[in-house]
Amino acid sequence: MQWIALLSNPEGINATYLQDPPDLRGVRIHEMSLQPEGPTLKIRFDLPAYPDYPPKKWLAQKYNTVQVELSFSGLKSVSLSGFGTDISADVSLTGEDEVTVKATAPGFHLQANAMTVFVSRLSAYANEL
């Protein structure tokens, strides 16, 4: 099962990647936060591949990197060990009645269980690689 099948709102990702989103290996994690509303875990990261047919607005701005923020709401548990300033992690989403997210990289491990996951932001920017 692809990770987007677990999203409550996969439409934006599906439209951007024409139903063929990239896997979540080697994503650059920019931010993680916990909010009491929900409670919710938010993870913001760059997707590892740019779409073949990006929106015209992104082309005009010369954007080359897609960034997504996933919100895990109805958070039941979260564990985090390690962290760093430049995390490139493998992320996986699994589940049926609830969603489990795991993100791993050398010196970093995150695991959380939540009731739902949704895209809270989808954007692009010019990354000076």
Domain enclosing residue 36, as ranges: 3-125
| Model pLDDT for residues 8-34, shown as the tens digit of each residue | 999 999 999 988 899 999 999 999 999
Write the CA distances from 115 to 19, 78, 99, 118, 121, integer angstroms.
24, 13, 6, 10, 19
How many structural domains comprise the chain?
1
User: What does pTM read for this prediction?
Assistant: 0.94
pLDDT surpasses 90 at 84: no
